[in-house]
Structure 1
Amino acid sequence: MPDIVRITSDELVVEVSSLGSEMQSLQTSDGRDFLWNGDAAFWTGRSPVLFPIVGKAPDNRIAVDGTFYDMGQHGFARRSEFTLAEASSSACRFELSSSDATRKVFPFEFSLSLTHSLDGRRLTVTAEVENRDQRPMPFGLGFHPAFLWPLPGAGDLAHTVVLDNGGEPLLTRLEDGLVTEEKMPSPFKKGSLTLAHELFEADAMIFAEGAGTGLTYAAERGPSLKFSFDSLPNVALWQKVGAPFICIEPWHGTAAKSGGSAELSERPYATVLAAGEKAKFSFSVEIVG
Protein backbone atom coordinates (compact mmCIF):
# COMPACT_ATOMS: atom_id res chain seq x y z
CA MET A 1 0.00 0.00 0.00
CA PRO A 2 1.20 3.55 -0.70
CA ASP A 3 2.38 5.67 2.19
CA ILE A 4 0.28 8.72 3.13
CA VAL A 5 1.93 11.86 4.50
CA ARG A 6 -0.18 14.42 6.34
CA ILE A 7 0.88 18.07 6.44
CA THR A 8 -0.86 20.93 8.25
CA SER A 9 -0.99 24.66 8.78
CA ASP A 10 -3.19 26.65 11.13
CA GLU A 11 -5.84 26.71 8.38
CA LEU A 12 -5.39 23.59 6.19
CA VAL A 13 -4.81 19.84 6.33
CA VAL A 14 -3.44 18.05 3.25
CA GLU A 15 -2.69 14.38 2.65
CA VAL A 16 -0.28 13.23 -0.04
CA SER A 17 0.24 9.67 -1.28
CA SER A 18 3.56 8.17 -2.29
CA LEU A 19 1.75 6.74 -5.34
CA GLY A 20 2.18 9.46 -7.90
CA SER A 21 3.01 11.94 -5.13
CA GLU A 22 -0.69 12.70 -5.51
CA MET A 23 -2.64 14.89 -3.13
CA GLN A 24 -5.48 12.90 -1.59
CA SER A 25 -7.34 15.55 0.37
CA LEU A 26 -7.43 19.30 0.94
CA GLN A 27 -9.42 20.27 3.99
CA THR A 28 -9.85 23.47 5.97
CA SER A 29 -9.47 23.44 9.75
CA ASP A 30 -13.26 23.71 10.10
CA GLY A 31 -13.65 20.34 8.33
CA ARG A 32 -14.66 21.43 4.81
CA ASP A 33 -13.29 19.33 1.94
CA PHE A 34 -12.31 21.07 -1.30
CA LEU A 35 -10.55 18.30 -3.27
CA TRP A 36 -12.41 15.63 -5.26
CA ASN A 37 -12.47 12.26 -3.47
CA GLY A 38 -11.60 9.97 -6.41
CA ASP A 39 -14.98 8.19 -6.57
CA ALA A 40 -14.50 5.46 -9.20
CA ALA A 41 -18.06 5.97 -10.44
CA PHE A 42 -16.73 9.10 -12.17
CA TRP A 43 -12.92 9.37 -12.07
CA THR A 44 -10.35 7.82 -9.74
CA GLY A 45 -7.89 10.69 -10.05
CA ARG A 46 -7.65 13.43 -7.47
CA SER A 47 -4.61 15.53 -8.31
CA PRO A 48 -2.23 13.61 -10.58
CA VAL A 49 1.00 15.01 -11.98
CA LEU A 50 1.41 14.64 -15.75
CA PHE A 51 4.93 13.60 -16.86
CA PRO A 52 6.71 13.10 -19.24
CA ILE A 53 3.77 14.00 -21.46
CA VAL A 54 0.55 15.95 -21.02
CA GLY A 55 -2.40 14.38 -22.79
CA LYS A 56 -2.17 11.69 -25.43
CA ALA A 57 0.37 10.67 -28.05
CA PRO A 58 -0.57 9.39 -31.53
CA ASP A 59 -1.40 5.68 -31.18
CA ASN A 60 -0.14 5.96 -27.58
CA ARG A 61 3.46 6.10 -28.79
CA ILE A 62 6.07 8.83 -28.55
CA ALA A 63 9.20 9.09 -30.67
CA VAL A 64 12.66 10.16 -29.55
CA ASP A 65 15.04 10.76 -32.45
CA GLY A 66 12.95 8.47 -34.62
CA THR A 67 12.71 5.57 -32.16
CA PHE A 68 9.22 4.80 -30.87
CA TYR A 69 8.21 4.04 -27.29
CA ASP A 70 4.85 3.12 -25.79
CA MET A 71 3.43 5.97 -23.72
CA GLY A 72 -0.05 6.11 -22.21
CA GLN A 73 -2.09 9.26 -21.72
CA HIS A 74 -0.50 11.78 -19.33
CA GLY A 75 2.64 9.66 -18.93
CA PHE A 76 3.76 7.29 -16.20
CA ALA A 77 4.54 9.48 -13.18
CA ARG A 78 0.96 9.48 -11.89
CA ARG A 79 1.06 5.68 -11.53
CA SER A 80 4.63 5.44 -10.22
CA GLU A 81 5.68 4.95 -6.63
CA PHE A 82 7.66 7.96 -5.37
CA THR A 83 10.14 7.99 -2.49
CA LEU A 84 9.68 10.36 0.44
CA ALA A 85 12.78 12.58 0.43
CA GLU A 86 11.87 15.18 3.05
CA ALA A 87 8.99 16.01 5.36
CA SER A 88 8.08 18.56 8.02
CA SER A 89 4.84 19.47 9.72
CA SER A 90 3.84 21.76 6.84
CA ALA A 91 5.64 20.37 3.76
CA CYS A 92 6.68 17.15 2.09
CA ARG A 93 8.79 16.29 -0.93
CA PHE A 94 8.58 13.04 -2.91
CA GLU A 95 11.01 11.98 -5.64
CA LEU A 96 10.89 9.72 -8.68
CA SER A 97 14.09 8.78 -10.51
CA SER A 98 14.74 6.98 -13.76
CA SER A 99 14.73 3.19 -13.54
CA ASP A 100 14.78 0.15 -15.79
CA ALA A 101 11.00 0.46 -16.06
CA THR A 102 11.02 4.13 -17.08
CA ARG A 103 13.90 3.71 -19.56
CA LYS A 104 11.80 1.26 -21.56
CA VAL A 105 9.31 4.02 -22.37
CA PHE A 106 11.31 7.23 -21.79
CA PRO A 107 15.01 6.73 -22.65
CA PHE A 108 16.51 9.34 -20.35
CA GLU A 109 18.14 9.61 -16.94
CA PHE A 110 16.05 12.03 -14.88
CA SER A 111 14.61 12.92 -11.51
CA LEU A 112 11.20 14.40 -10.78
CA SER A 113 10.44 15.81 -7.35
CA LEU A 114 7.10 17.08 -6.11
CA THR A 115 6.80 19.33 -3.08
CA HIS A 116 3.53 20.16 -1.33
CA SER A 117 3.79 23.01 1.17
CA LEU A 118 1.30 24.96 3.27
CA ASP A 119 1.25 28.55 4.46
CA GLY A 120 -1.97 29.57 6.18
CA ARG A 121 -4.76 28.97 3.66
CA ARG A 122 -2.40 28.64 0.71
CA LEU A 123 -1.15 25.35 -0.76
CA THR A 124 1.79 25.40 -3.18
CA VAL A 125 2.72 22.42 -5.33
CA THR A 126 6.13 22.54 -7.01
CA ALA A 127 7.58 20.11 -9.53
CA GLU A 128 11.30 20.09 -10.26
CA VAL A 129 12.66 18.11 -13.20
CA GLU A 130 16.38 17.38 -13.52
CA ASN A 131 17.97 16.06 -16.69
CA ARG A 132 20.63 13.62 -15.50
CA ASP A 133 21.33 12.45 -19.03
CA GLN A 134 24.11 13.44 -21.41
CA ARG A 135 21.79 14.86 -24.07
CA PRO A 136 18.87 17.29 -24.20
CA MET A 137 15.67 15.84 -22.71
CA PRO A 138 12.24 16.82 -24.10
CA PHE A 139 9.16 16.44 -21.91
CA GLY A 140 5.83 17.90 -20.87
CA LEU A 141 4.76 18.64 -17.30
CA GLY A 142 1.30 19.40 -16.00
CA PHE A 143 -0.94 19.38 -12.95
CA HIS A 144 -4.45 17.89 -12.94
CA PRO A 145 -6.12 18.78 -9.59
CA ALA A 146 -9.87 18.22 -9.25
CA PHE A 147 -11.95 20.41 -6.94
CA LEU A 148 -15.51 19.99 -5.78
CA TRP A 149 -18.27 21.46 -7.93
CA PRO A 150 -20.32 22.68 -6.17
CA LEU A 151 -17.91 24.08 -3.63
CA PRO A 152 -18.67 23.36 0.05
CA GLY A 153 -21.89 25.04 1.12
CA ALA A 154 -22.51 26.43 -2.36
CA GLY A 155 -25.34 24.06 -3.33
CA ASP A 156 -27.00 25.16 -6.59
CA LEU A 157 -25.25 28.52 -6.75
CA ALA A 158 -23.63 29.56 -10.02
CA HIS A 159 -19.89 28.84 -10.24
CA THR A 160 -17.44 30.88 -12.28
CA VAL A 161 -13.83 30.85 -13.44
CA VAL A 162 -12.42 34.39 -13.70
CA LEU A 163 -9.01 35.05 -15.24
CA ASP A 164 -6.79 37.56 -13.45
CA ASN A 165 -5.81 39.14 -16.77
CA GLY A 166 -9.39 39.68 -17.92
CA GLY A 167 -8.54 37.85 -21.13
CA GLU A 168 -10.65 36.05 -23.70
CA PRO A 169 -8.27 33.25 -24.77
CA LEU A 170 -9.17 31.20 -27.83
CA LEU A 171 -10.47 27.70 -27.21
CA THR A 172 -8.77 24.53 -28.46
CA ARG A 173 -10.55 21.18 -28.50
CA LEU A 174 -9.43 17.56 -28.73
CA GLU A 175 -10.05 15.04 -31.50
CA ASP A 176 -9.48 11.45 -30.34
CA GLY A 177 -7.44 12.91 -27.51
CA LEU A 178 -5.16 15.02 -29.74
CA VAL A 179 -5.30 18.81 -30.13
CA THR A 180 -6.84 20.18 -33.28
CA GLU A 181 -5.51 23.09 -35.33
CA GLU A 182 -8.84 24.93 -35.18
CA LYS A 183 -9.05 27.85 -32.77
CA MET A 184 -12.57 28.48 -31.54
CA PRO A 185 -14.05 31.66 -30.07
CA SER A 186 -13.38 32.16 -26.40
CA PRO A 187 -16.11 31.17 -23.94
CA PHE A 188 -14.71 33.84 -21.59
CA LYS A 189 -16.27 37.29 -21.61
CA LYS A 190 -14.00 39.96 -20.13
CA GLY A 191 -12.17 37.18 -18.34
CA SER A 192 -15.25 35.51 -16.83
CA LEU A 193 -16.79 32.11 -17.58
CA THR A 194 -19.91 30.73 -15.89
CA LEU A 195 -19.51 26.98 -15.62
CA ALA A 196 -22.08 24.57 -17.05
CA HIS A 197 -21.84 20.81 -17.45
CA GLU A 198 -22.60 20.94 -21.18
CA LEU A 199 -19.37 22.85 -21.78
CA PHE A 200 -17.55 19.54 -21.31
CA GLU A 201 -19.59 17.35 -23.61
CA ALA A 202 -16.78 17.74 -26.17
CA ASP A 203 -14.08 16.86 -23.60
CA ALA A 204 -11.59 19.30 -22.09
CA MET A 205 -11.52 23.03 -22.77
CA ILE A 206 -7.92 23.96 -23.55
CA PHE A 207 -6.55 27.49 -23.56
CA ALA A 208 -3.06 27.09 -24.95
CA GLU A 209 -2.31 30.82 -24.79
CA GLY A 210 -3.67 33.91 -23.16
CA ALA A 211 -5.15 32.56 -19.92
CA GLY A 212 -2.45 34.31 -17.91
CA THR A 213 -0.81 33.37 -14.63
CA GLY A 214 -3.76 33.29 -12.28
CA LEU A 215 -7.50 32.77 -11.92
CA THR A 216 -10.27 32.44 -9.37
CA TYR A 217 -12.75 29.58 -9.17
CA ALA A 218 -15.70 30.74 -7.09
CA ALA A 219 -19.31 30.20 -6.16
CA GLU A 220 -21.70 33.13 -6.23
CA ARG A 221 -21.88 34.37 -2.62
CA GLY A 222 -19.79 31.34 -1.60
CA PRO A 223 -16.17 30.31 -1.09
CA SER A 224 -13.50 30.81 -3.72
CA LEU A 225 -10.18 29.31 -4.73
CA LYS A 226 -7.50 31.74 -5.95
CA PHE A 227 -4.83 30.19 -8.19
CA SER A 228 -1.45 31.38 -9.40
CA PHE A 229 0.78 29.60 -11.90
CA ASP A 230 4.54 29.70 -12.48
CA SER A 231 6.10 28.44 -15.74
CA LEU A 232 2.75 26.92 -16.73
CA PRO A 233 1.51 28.81 -19.82
CA ASN A 234 -1.31 26.43 -20.83
CA VAL A 235 -4.55 26.07 -18.87
CA ALA A 236 -7.30 23.47 -19.29
CA LEU A 237 -10.68 22.95 -17.65
CA TRP A 238 -12.19 19.46 -17.56
CA GLN A 239 -14.78 17.35 -15.88
CA LYS A 240 -16.40 14.01 -16.52
CA VAL A 241 -19.75 15.30 -17.73
CA GLY A 242 -22.16 15.56 -14.82
CA ALA A 243 -19.56 14.67 -12.20
CA PRO A 244 -19.39 16.83 -9.04
CA PHE A 245 -15.90 18.18 -9.70
CA ILE A 246 -13.99 20.55 -11.96
CA CYS A 247 -10.33 20.10 -12.90
CA ILE A 248 -8.31 23.30 -13.15
CA GLU A 249 -5.17 22.20 -14.97
CA PRO A 250 -2.07 24.34 -15.51
CA TRP A 251 0.37 22.78 -17.97
CA HIS A 252 3.66 23.29 -19.78
CA GLY A 253 2.89 21.20 -22.84
CA THR A 254 -0.29 19.79 -24.35
CA ALA A 255 -1.36 16.64 -26.15
CA ALA A 256 0.24 16.02 -29.53
CA LYS A 257 -1.34 17.62 -32.58
CA SER A 258 -3.97 15.68 -34.49
CA GLY A 259 -2.19 14.49 -37.62
CA GLY A 260 1.12 15.79 -36.26
CA SER A 261 4.48 14.35 -35.29
CA ALA A 262 5.02 11.72 -32.62
CA GLU A 263 8.42 13.22 -31.79
CA LEU A 264 8.42 14.25 -28.16
CA SER A 265 10.43 17.40 -28.89
CA GLU A 266 7.86 18.55 -31.47
CA ARG A 267 4.80 18.40 -29.21
CA PRO A 268 3.20 21.79 -28.54
CA TYR A 269 4.96 23.72 -25.77
CA ALA A 270 7.41 20.90 -25.03
CA THR A 271 10.31 21.74 -22.71
CA VAL A 272 13.72 20.64 -23.96
CA LEU A 273 16.05 20.60 -20.96
CA ALA A 274 19.81 20.67 -21.49
CA ALA A 275 21.99 17.96 -19.97
CA GLY A 276 22.53 18.55 -16.26
CA GLU A 277 19.93 21.32 -16.06
CA LYS A 278 16.82 21.65 -13.87
CA ALA A 279 13.41 23.23 -14.44
CA LYS A 280 10.69 24.20 -11.94
CA PHE A 281 6.94 24.45 -12.39
CA SER A 282 4.45 25.35 -9.67
CA PHE A 283 0.94 26.37 -8.83
CA SER A 284 -0.60 27.67 -5.64
CA VAL A 285 -4.20 27.75 -4.49
CA GLU A 286 -5.58 29.86 -1.64
CA ILE A 287 -8.97 29.18 -0.09
CA VAL A 288 -11.01 32.31 0.57
CA GLY A 289 -14.26 32.29 2.53
Structure 2
Amino acid sequence: MPSSTRIGNRHLAVDVSSLGAEMQALTSSDGRSWLWTGEATYWAGRSPILFPIVGKAPDDKLAIGGAVYPMAQHGFARRNEFSLAESTPTMCRHELPASAATQAVYPFDFLLAVEHAVQGRALTVTAEVNNRDARALPFGLGFHPAFAWPLPDAAGRPHMVTLDNEGEPALARLEGGLINPAPLPSPFDKGRLVLDHAMFEKDAMIFPKGAGDGLRYGAVGGPTLRFQFENLPNLALWTKPGAPFICIEPWHGTAAEAGGSSELSQRPSTTILAPGATARFAFTVEILQ
Protein backbone atom coordinates (compact mmCIF):
# COMPACT_ATOMS: atom_id res chain seq x y z
CA MET A 1 0.00 0.00 0.00
CA PRO A 2 1.25 3.50 -0.76
CA SER A 3 2.48 5.52 2.18
CA SER A 4 1.98 9.23 2.79
CA THR A 5 4.49 11.81 3.98
CA ARG A 6 3.49 15.21 5.38
CA ILE A 7 5.82 18.19 5.33
CA GLY A 8 5.11 21.75 6.29
CA ASN A 9 5.85 24.93 8.20
CA ARG A 10 3.73 27.55 9.92
CA HIS A 11 2.26 28.60 6.57
CA LEU A 12 1.74 25.41 4.56
CA ALA A 13 1.14 21.67 4.86
CA VAL A 14 1.84 19.30 1.96
CA ASP A 15 0.96 15.60 1.72
CA VAL A 16 2.89 13.41 -0.73
CA SER A 17 2.08 9.81 -1.67
CA SER A 18 4.76 7.24 -2.38
CA LEU A 19 2.68 6.16 -5.40
CA GLY A 20 4.09 8.29 -8.19
CA ALA A 21 5.65 10.68 -5.65
CA GLU A 22 2.41 12.57 -6.22
CA MET A 23 1.32 15.50 -4.08
CA GLN A 24 -2.09 14.84 -2.55
CA ALA A 25 -2.83 18.08 -0.70
CA LEU A 26 -1.58 21.65 -0.42
CA THR A 27 -3.20 23.40 2.53
CA SER A 28 -2.50 26.79 4.07
CA SER A 29 -2.51 27.37 7.82
CA ASP A 30 -5.92 29.06 7.64
CA GLY A 31 -7.40 25.75 6.46
CA ARG A 32 -7.81 26.67 2.78
CA SER A 33 -7.14 23.84 0.32
CA TRP A 34 -5.46 24.85 -2.97
CA LEU A 35 -4.96 21.51 -4.72
CA TRP A 36 -7.65 19.55 -6.56
CA THR A 37 -9.09 16.76 -4.40
CA GLY A 38 -8.91 13.98 -7.00
CA GLU A 39 -12.65 13.28 -7.22
CA ALA A 40 -12.79 10.40 -9.68
CA THR A 41 -16.05 11.63 -11.25
CA TYR A 42 -13.91 14.16 -13.10
CA TRP A 43 -10.26 13.08 -12.83
CA ALA A 44 -8.57 10.98 -10.15
CA GLY A 45 -5.16 12.61 -10.57
CA ARG A 46 -3.94 15.45 -8.41
CA SER A 47 -0.35 16.23 -9.36
CA PRO A 48 1.22 13.36 -11.31
CA ILE A 49 4.84 13.30 -12.47
CA LEU A 50 5.12 12.61 -16.21
CA PHE A 51 8.10 10.41 -17.24
CA PRO A 52 9.63 9.17 -19.54
CA ILE A 53 7.15 10.78 -21.92
CA VAL A 54 4.72 13.67 -21.73
CA GLY A 55 1.42 13.07 -23.49
CA LYS A 56 0.69 10.19 -25.86
CA ALA A 57 2.72 8.08 -28.23
CA PRO A 58 1.19 7.00 -31.57
CA ASP A 59 -0.98 3.96 -30.85
CA ASP A 60 0.56 3.97 -27.36
CA LYS A 61 3.77 2.58 -28.85
CA LEU A 62 7.20 4.13 -28.47
CA ALA A 63 10.15 3.45 -30.78
CA ILE A 64 13.60 3.48 -29.18
CA GLY A 65 16.53 2.78 -31.43
CA GLY A 66 14.26 0.99 -33.89
CA ALA A 67 12.67 -1.33 -31.32
CA VAL A 68 9.02 -0.76 -30.36
CA TYR A 69 7.72 -0.73 -26.77
CA PRO A 70 4.27 -0.19 -25.24
CA MET A 71 4.00 3.15 -23.46
CA ALA A 72 0.85 4.57 -21.89
CA GLN A 73 0.02 8.28 -21.95
CA HIS A 74 2.33 10.34 -19.72
CA GLY A 75 4.63 7.37 -19.07
CA PHE A 76 4.94 5.01 -16.15
CA ALA A 77 6.33 7.05 -13.25
CA ARG A 78 2.89 8.07 -11.98
CA ARG A 79 1.88 4.42 -11.64
CA ASN A 80 5.02 3.26 -9.83
CA GLU A 81 5.84 3.10 -6.15
CA PHE A 82 8.69 5.40 -5.14
CA SER A 83 10.85 4.90 -2.06
CA LEU A 84 11.20 7.66 0.53
CA ALA A 85 14.92 8.47 0.38
CA GLU A 86 15.00 11.49 2.71
CA SER A 87 12.58 13.43 4.87
CA THR A 88 12.76 16.46 7.15
CA PRO A 89 9.92 18.57 8.59
CA THR A 90 9.97 20.80 5.50
CA MET A 91 11.21 18.47 2.72
CA CYS A 92 10.78 14.96 1.36
CA ARG A 93 12.59 13.20 -1.46
CA HIS A 94 11.25 10.13 -3.25
CA GLU A 95 13.21 7.98 -5.69
CA LEU A 96 12.36 5.60 -8.51
CA PRO A 97 15.28 3.56 -9.91
CA ALA A 98 15.10 1.52 -13.07
CA SER A 99 13.77 -2.00 -12.55
CA ALA A 100 13.06 -5.07 -14.61
CA ALA A 101 9.51 -3.78 -15.06
CA THR A 102 10.57 -0.33 -16.29
CA GLN A 103 13.31 -1.74 -18.53
CA ALA A 104 10.78 -4.00 -20.24
CA VAL A 105 9.16 -0.86 -21.71
CA TYR A 106 12.04 1.66 -21.44
CA PRO A 107 15.38 -0.14 -21.80
CA PHE A 108 17.60 2.22 -19.81
CA ASP A 109 19.18 2.45 -16.37
CA PHE A 110 18.13 5.66 -14.62
CA LEU A 111 17.19 7.21 -11.29
CA LEU A 112 14.24 9.58 -11.06
CA ALA A 113 14.14 11.62 -7.85
CA VAL A 114 11.25 13.92 -6.88
CA GLU A 115 11.59 16.41 -4.04
CA HIS A 116 8.88 18.51 -2.40
CA ALA A 117 10.10 21.38 -0.19
CA VAL A 118 8.31 24.26 1.53
CA GLN A 119 9.76 27.65 2.37
CA GLY A 120 7.56 30.44 3.63
CA ARG A 121 4.33 30.42 1.63
CA ALA A 122 5.92 28.60 -1.31
CA LEU A 123 6.26 24.98 -2.38
CA THR A 124 8.98 23.86 -4.79
CA VAL A 125 8.69 20.52 -6.59
CA THR A 126 11.92 19.32 -8.19
CA ALA A 127 12.52 16.34 -10.44
CA GLU A 128 16.03 15.09 -11.16
CA VAL A 129 16.81 12.45 -13.78
CA ASN A 130 20.19 10.72 -13.49
CA ASN A 131 21.44 8.67 -16.43
CA ARG A 132 23.02 5.52 -15.00
CA ASP A 133 23.25 3.93 -18.42
CA ALA A 134 26.22 3.68 -20.77
CA ARG A 135 24.10 5.23 -23.54
CA ALA A 136 22.49 8.63 -23.96
CA LEU A 137 19.09 8.75 -22.23
CA PRO A 138 16.15 10.23 -24.19
CA PHE A 139 13.08 11.28 -22.19
CA GLY A 140 10.37 13.81 -21.55
CA LEU A 141 9.57 15.16 -18.07
CA GLY A 142 6.50 17.09 -17.02
CA PHE A 143 4.49 18.25 -14.03
CA HIS A 144 0.69 18.01 -14.02
CA PRO A 145 -0.59 19.77 -10.85
CA ALA A 146 -4.30 20.55 -10.63
CA PHE A 147 -5.48 23.53 -8.59
CA ALA A 148 -8.91 24.52 -7.39
CA TRP A 149 -11.06 26.46 -9.84
CA PRO A 150 -12.59 28.43 -8.31
CA LEU A 151 -9.86 29.14 -5.80
CA PRO A 152 -10.83 29.22 -2.10
CA ASP A 153 -13.28 32.02 -1.25
CA ALA A 154 -13.39 33.08 -4.92
CA ALA A 155 -16.57 31.46 -6.27
CA GLY A 156 -18.25 33.60 -8.89
CA ARG A 157 -15.13 35.67 -9.64
CA PRO A 158 -13.42 35.53 -13.04
CA HIS A 159 -10.16 33.57 -12.93
CA MET A 160 -7.15 34.54 -14.99
CA VAL A 161 -3.74 33.26 -16.05
CA THR A 162 -1.22 36.06 -16.52
CA LEU A 163 2.20 35.39 -18.06
CA ASP A 164 5.13 37.24 -16.51
CA ASN A 165 6.60 37.93 -19.96
CA GLU A 166 3.32 39.45 -21.22
CA GLY A 167 3.63 37.10 -24.18
CA GLU A 168 1.09 35.88 -26.68
CA PRO A 169 2.36 32.35 -27.36
CA ALA A 170 0.89 30.39 -30.27
CA LEU A 171 -1.64 27.73 -29.33
CA ALA A 172 -1.36 24.05 -30.28
CA ARG A 173 -4.21 21.57 -30.07
CA LEU A 174 -4.33 17.79 -29.83
CA GLU A 175 -5.46 15.57 -32.67
CA GLY A 176 -6.22 12.06 -31.45
CA GLY A 177 -4.10 12.82 -28.41
CA LEU A 178 -1.13 13.91 -30.54
CA ILE A 179 0.13 17.45 -31.18
CA ASN A 180 -1.20 19.10 -34.31
CA PRO A 181 1.92 21.06 -35.32
CA ALA A 182 -0.05 23.79 -37.10
CA PRO A 183 0.10 26.85 -34.78
CA LEU A 184 -3.16 28.59 -33.89
CA PRO A 185 -3.69 32.19 -32.79
CA SER A 186 -2.84 32.85 -29.17
CA PRO A 187 -5.73 33.15 -26.70
CA PHE A 188 -3.52 35.45 -24.59
CA ASP A 189 -3.81 39.21 -24.88
CA LYS A 190 -0.63 40.91 -23.68
CA GLY A 191 -0.03 37.95 -21.40
CA ARG A 192 -3.57 37.82 -19.98
CA LEU A 193 -6.05 34.96 -20.39
CA VAL A 194 -9.46 34.99 -18.71
CA LEU A 195 -10.36 31.34 -18.17
CA ASP A 196 -13.57 29.89 -19.57
CA HIS A 197 -14.57 26.22 -19.49
CA ALA A 198 -15.51 26.43 -23.18
CA MET A 199 -11.79 26.79 -23.96
CA PHE A 200 -11.31 23.16 -22.99
CA GLU A 201 -14.05 21.55 -25.08
CA LYS A 202 -11.27 20.58 -27.52
CA ASP A 203 -9.05 19.21 -24.74
CA ALA A 204 -5.88 20.88 -23.45
CA MET A 205 -4.48 24.20 -24.57
CA ILE A 206 -0.79 23.69 -25.25
CA PHE A 207 1.85 26.36 -25.72
CA PRO A 208 4.99 24.68 -27.07
CA LYS A 209 7.09 27.83 -26.74
CA GLY A 210 6.91 31.44 -25.67
CA ALA A 211 4.98 31.18 -22.40
CA GLY A 212 8.08 32.08 -20.38
CA ASP A 213 9.25 30.91 -17.00
CA GLY A 214 6.62 32.42 -14.71
CA LEU A 215 2.92 33.19 -14.41
CA ARG A 216 0.14 33.98 -12.00
CA TYR A 217 -3.16 32.15 -11.65
CA GLY A 218 -5.74 34.00 -9.64
CA ALA A 219 -9.25 35.30 -9.16
CA VAL A 220 -9.91 38.91 -10.02
CA GLY A 221 -9.79 40.77 -6.71
CA GLY A 222 -9.19 37.49 -4.87
CA PRO A 223 -6.56 34.87 -4.05
CA THR A 224 -3.62 34.36 -6.40
CA LEU A 225 -0.93 31.72 -6.93
CA ARG A 226 2.44 32.71 -8.38
CA PHE A 227 4.46 30.15 -10.38
CA GLN A 228 8.11 30.00 -11.39
CA PHE A 229 9.47 27.34 -13.76
CA GLU A 230 12.99 25.96 -14.15
CA ASN A 231 14.04 24.17 -17.36
CA LEU A 232 10.40 23.75 -18.42
CA PRO A 233 9.88 25.48 -21.78
CA ASN A 234 6.45 24.02 -22.65
CA LEU A 235 3.18 24.93 -20.93
CA ALA A 236 -0.26 23.34 -21.00
CA LEU A 237 -3.56 24.31 -19.41
CA TRP A 238 -6.21 21.63 -19.03
CA THR A 239 -9.44 20.74 -17.33
CA LYS A 240 -12.56 18.81 -18.16
CA PRO A 241 -15.35 21.26 -19.03
CA GLY A 242 -17.31 22.01 -15.87
CA ALA A 243 -14.79 20.36 -13.52
CA PRO A 244 -13.71 22.43 -10.50
CA PHE A 245 -9.98 22.40 -11.24
CA ILE A 246 -7.41 23.78 -13.64
CA CYS A 247 -4.13 22.03 -14.43
CA ILE A 248 -1.17 24.33 -14.90
CA GLU A 249 1.37 22.02 -16.50
CA PRO A 250 4.99 22.99 -17.15
CA TRP A 251 6.80 20.43 -19.32
CA HIS A 252 10.07 19.63 -21.01
CA GLY A 253 8.62 17.51 -23.82
CA THR A 254 5.20 17.15 -25.39
CA ALA A 255 3.10 14.48 -27.02
CA ALA A 256 4.33 13.18 -30.35
CA GLU A 257 3.24 15.14 -33.40
CA ALA A 258 0.30 13.85 -35.42
CA GLY A 259 1.72 12.22 -38.51
CA GLY A 260 5.22 12.36 -37.03
CA SER A 261 7.70 9.80 -35.81
CA SER A 262 7.07 7.39 -32.94
CA GLU A 263 10.82 7.48 -32.14
CA LEU A 264 11.34 8.86 -28.63
CA SER A 265 14.35 10.95 -29.60
CA GLN A 266 12.27 12.69 -32.30
CA ARG A 267 9.47 13.86 -30.01
CA PRO A 268 9.25 17.64 -29.51
CA SER A 269 11.50 19.03 -26.74
CA THR A 270 12.92 15.59 -25.84
CA THR A 271 15.93 15.73 -23.52
CA ILE A 272 18.96 13.67 -24.56
CA LEU A 273 21.00 13.14 -21.39
CA ALA A 274 24.63 12.03 -21.55
CA PRO A 275 25.79 8.97 -19.58
CA GLY A 276 26.45 9.85 -15.95
CA ALA A 277 24.74 13.25 -16.25
CA THR A 278 21.79 14.60 -14.24
CA ALA A 279 19.04 16.91 -15.51
CA ARG A 280 16.96 19.06 -13.13
CA PHE A 281 13.44 20.43 -13.60
CA ALA A 282 11.40 22.38 -11.04
CA PHE A 283 8.38 24.53 -10.40
CA THR A 284 7.57 26.76 -7.44
CA VAL A 285 4.06 27.81 -6.46
CA GLU A 286 3.57 30.58 -3.90
CA ILE A 287 0.30 31.59 -2.25
CA LEU A 288 0.11 35.37 -2.45
CA GLN A 289 -3.18 35.90 -0.62
TM-score greater than 0.5 by the shorter chain: yes
In structure 2, stretches of 5+ residues that fail to align are: none
Which segments of structure 1 move beyond 2 Å, counting only runs of 4 or more?
none
- CA displacement, residues 229-252 of structure 1 (integer Å, 9 cap, x when unaligned): 000000000001110000000000
> Is 1:261 aligned with 2:261?
yes
The correspondence of residues 140-155 of structure 1 with structure 2, limited to 5 A, is 140-155=140-155
Question: Equivalents in 2 of 1:9, 1:49: separation in Å?
Answer: 24
Match of 1:281 in 2: 281
Q: How many angstroms does 1:51 deviate by?
A: 0.1
TM norm structure 1: 1.00
* Count of residue pairs brought into register by the alignment: 289
Give the 3-state SS of the residue equivalent to 1:198 in structure 2: helix
Please state whether the residue corresponding to 2:101 is helix, strand or coil: helix
* Structure 2 Cα separation of the partners of residues 62 and 52 of structure 1: 11
**Matches of 1:179 and 1:105 in 2, distance apart?**
22
- Residue identity opposite 1:25 in structure 2: A
* Residue aligning to 2:245: 245
Deviation per CA, 1:19-76: give whole Å up to 9, x if none: 0000000000010000000000000000000000000000001011100000000000
Unaligned runs of 5+ residues in structure 1 are none
Aligned residue number for residue 116 of structure 2 = 116
Q: Give the letter for the 1:157 counterpart.
A: R
Task: Please tell me the residue identity of whatever aligns with 1:126.
Answer: T
Q: Does residue 223 of the first structure (1) align with residue 223 of the second (2)?
A: yes
Secondary structure of 2:68's partner? Answer: strand
Structure 2 residue aligned with 1:59 = 59
AA aligned to 1:178 is L
In structure 1, the residue matched to 2:156 is: 156
User: What residue in structure 1 maps to residue 97 of structure 2?
Assistant: 97
What corresponds to 1:271 in structure 2?
271
Q: Quick one: distance in 1 between partners of 2:39 and 2:92?
A: 25
Rounded to whole Å, the distance in 1 between the matches of 2:62 and 2:52 is: 10
Instruction: Give the partner amino acid of 2:282.
Output: S
Q: What residue number does 1:206 align with?
A: 206
- For 1:210 and 1:262, how far apart are their aligned partners in 2? 25
- In structure 1, C-alpha distance between the alignment counterparts of 2:158 and 2:67, rounded to whole Å: 49
Aligned letter for 1:88? Answer: T
Partner of 2:75: 75
Q: Partners of 1:205 and 1:114 in 2: how far apart?
A: 26
Q: CA RMSD in A?
A: 0.4
Amino acid at match of 2:165: N
Which deviations, in whole Å up to 9, do the C-alpha atoms of 1:167-224 show, x marking residues without a partner?
0000000000000121000000000000000000000000000000000000011100
Aligned counterparts of 2:53 and 2:268: Cα–Cα separation in 1: 11
Q: Distance in 1 between matches of 2:93 and 2:10?
A: 20
C-alpha distance in structure 2 between counterparts of 1:269 and 1:240, whole Å: 26
Counterpart code for 1:272: I
Alignment-mate amino acid for residue 12 of structure 1: L
